[in-house]
């Protein structure tokens, strides 16, 4: 089992998004929350969300964001229903907890409804997400850890410290791999592949520019960097598919989030440039 070195700076890495609390600086989970109508955001986050909608004119940013959250809920519901009891939500952000316009529940509660004894690990670099996570989730079977996903020994130590890694784990990487460079994302997935037991499942949603005007996508990434002070990497379908290479893709393969287990009730999905999604198994 790898040892935990809790300080990414000691490993030569910059600290991850939101690692120091600063309400004047927009951070990914709060901008994401502002797009979903969350009430616990700051002016900088709401301004960043509004500016992203302006820059990505023609792209239904709020609907695409909501659809990312809804697809993750469907995936967790399905996997818990199939008998999975251990979950690691890496880059999980602040639990939804119905604190949004669409009354979306948090993933830990969705899993708990199917598996009351489920074990849940929420890991994020952002101190405000982690603090809210501890307050909102708490209770039996939940661990919340502040860690940078690029600090692999720390991530692996959190997994081993809170889950039984000799048994299958569902790893959720929702809307987070696009904050890592391709080598960083690949290293994380390689490390997960090496550490996870057979039967484990990885769920990924990832920003893509597919289907959108390239100039608009470029302008969006540039605006995101300016507003948040961090890089964001929308990727092609081929690149996002490549991240699953060591795992066995489950049907329906690499799809837009709106195509994953489409709900038979509720608002009609809005097509457009999107998050792509895959669910894959560690054989
Ligand atoms: C857009 S939010 C998505 C939240 C949640 N996974 C979802 O899909 O609803 C991205 C999250 O990834 C986290 N994040 C980004 N880069 C990270 C890193 N290097 N290490 C850990 N967390 C990171 C952010 O702090 C944020 O909470």
pLDDT of 130 over the 90 cut? yes
Locate 101 and state its tokens: 């316009």
Query: What's the whole-number average pLDDT of the chain?
Result: 91
58-104 tens-digit pLDDT:
888 998 999 999 999 999 999 999 999 999 999 999 998 888 888 88
Residue nearest to atom 10 of ligand 1 (CA): 176
Q: Which residue do the tokens 């996870």 mark? A: 196
Percent of the chain residues past pLDDT 90, beyond the cut: 75
Residue to substitute in 17, 156, 275 for testing ligand 1 pocket (most ligand atoms within 8 angstroms of CB): 17
Residue 2 has a pLDDT of 39
Q: Please tell me the distance between residue 98's alpha carbon and the centre of ligand 1 in angstroms.
A: 18
Q: Residue by residue, what is the 3-state secondary structure of the chain?
A: CCCCCCCHHHHCCCCCCCCCCCCCCCCHHHHHHHHCCCCCCCHHHHHHHHHHHHHCCCCCHHHHHHHHHHHHHHHHHHHHHCCCCEEEEECCCCCCCCCCCCCCCCHHHHHHHHCCCCEEEEEECCHHHHHHHHHHCCCCCEEEEECCCCCHHHHHHHHHHHCCCCCCCEEEEECCHHHCCHHHHHHHHHHHHHHCCCCCEEEEEEEECCCCCHHHHHHHHHHHHHHHCCCCCCECHHHHHHCCCCCEECCCCCEEHHHCCCCCCCCCCCCCCCEEEEEEECC
Lowest mean pLDDT among 46-50, 71-75, 174-178, 262-266: 262-266
Whole-number Å distance between alpha carbons of 10 and 169? 29
- Pocket lining: 33 vs ligand 1, CB cutoff 6 Å: no
5-50 tens-digit pLDDT:
445 555 555 678 899 899 989 999 999 999 999 989 999 999 999 9
- Pocket lining: 150 vs ligand 1, CB cutoff 6 Å: yes
pLDDT tier at 3 (50, 70, 90 boundaries)?
very low
- Pocket lining: 96 vs ligand 1, CB cutoff 6 Å: no
Q: Is the peptide bond before 140 cis (omega within 30 degrees of 0)?
A: no
190-222 tens-digit pLDDT:
999 999 999 999 999 999 998 888 999 999 999
Nearest to 10 by CA among 151, 177, 211, 206: 151
Residue 271 has a pLDDT of 61
Nearest to 277 by CA among 259, 245, 255: 255
Residue 176 has a pLDDT of 98
Contact 206, 188 (CB under 8 A): no
Which residues have a Cβ under 8 Å from the Cβ of 138 and sit 6 or more positions away?
Answer: none
* 144: exposed, middle or buried (Cβ count in 10 Å: 0-12, 13-18, 19+): buried
Contact 273, 211 (CB under 8 A): yes
Residue 4 has a pLDDT of 41
- Pocket lining: 174 vs ligand 1, CB cutoff 6 Å: yes
* 271: exposed, middle or buried (Cβ count in 10 Å: 0-12, 13-18, 19+): middle
Q: What is the set of domains in the chain, with CATH numbers?
A: 8-281 (3.40.50.150)
Phi, then psi, of 243 in degrees rounded to 5 = -65, -20
Residue nearest to atom 2 of ligand 1 (CA): 29
Nearest to 207 by CA among 259, 279, 277, 275: 275
Percent of the chain residues past pLDDT 70, beyond the cut: 91
pLDDT tier at 268 (50, 70, 90 boundaries)?
low
Q: Which residue do the tokens 């720390």 mark? A: 154
| Cα separations in angstroms, 183 against 67, 175, 186, 189, 275 | 27, 17, 5, 10, 20
pLDDT of 272 over the 50 cut? yes
């Amino acid at each position: 089992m790898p040892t935990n070195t809790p300080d990414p700076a000691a490993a030569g890495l910059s600290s991850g998004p939101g690692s120091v609390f600063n309400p004047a600086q927009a951070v990914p989970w709060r901008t994401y929350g502002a797009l979903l109508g969350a009430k616990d955001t700051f002016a900088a986050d709401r301004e960043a969300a509004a500016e992203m909608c302006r820059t990505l004119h023609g792209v239904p940013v709020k609907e695409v964001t909501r659809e990312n959250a809804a697809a993750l809920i469907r995936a967790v519901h399905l996997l818990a229903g199939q008998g999975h009891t251990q979950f690691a939500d890496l880059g999980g952000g602040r639990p939804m907890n119905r604190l949004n316009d669409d009354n979306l529940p948090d993933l830990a509660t969705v899993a708990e409804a199917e598996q009351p004894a489920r074990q849940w690990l929420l890991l994020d670099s952002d101190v405000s997400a982690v603090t809210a996570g501890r307050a909102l989730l708490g209770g039996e079977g939940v661990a919340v850890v502040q860690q940078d996903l690029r600090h692999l020994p720390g991530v692996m130590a959190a997994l081993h410290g809170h889950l039984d890694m000799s048994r299958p784990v569902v790893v959720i990487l929702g809307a987070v791999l696009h904050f890592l460079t391709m080598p960083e994302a690949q290293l994380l997935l390689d490390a997960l592949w090496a550490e996870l037991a057979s039967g484990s499942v990885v769920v990924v949603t990832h920003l893509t520019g597919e289907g959108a005007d390239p100039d608009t996508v470029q302008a969006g990434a540039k605006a995101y960097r300016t507003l948040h002070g961090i890089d964001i990497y929308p990727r092609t379908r081929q690149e996002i598919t490549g991240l699953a290479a060591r795992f066995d893709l489950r049907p329906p393969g690499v799809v837009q989030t709106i195509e994953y287990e489409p709900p038979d009730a509720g608002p009609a999905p809005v097509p457009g440039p999107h998050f792509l999604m895959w669910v894959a198994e560690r054989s």
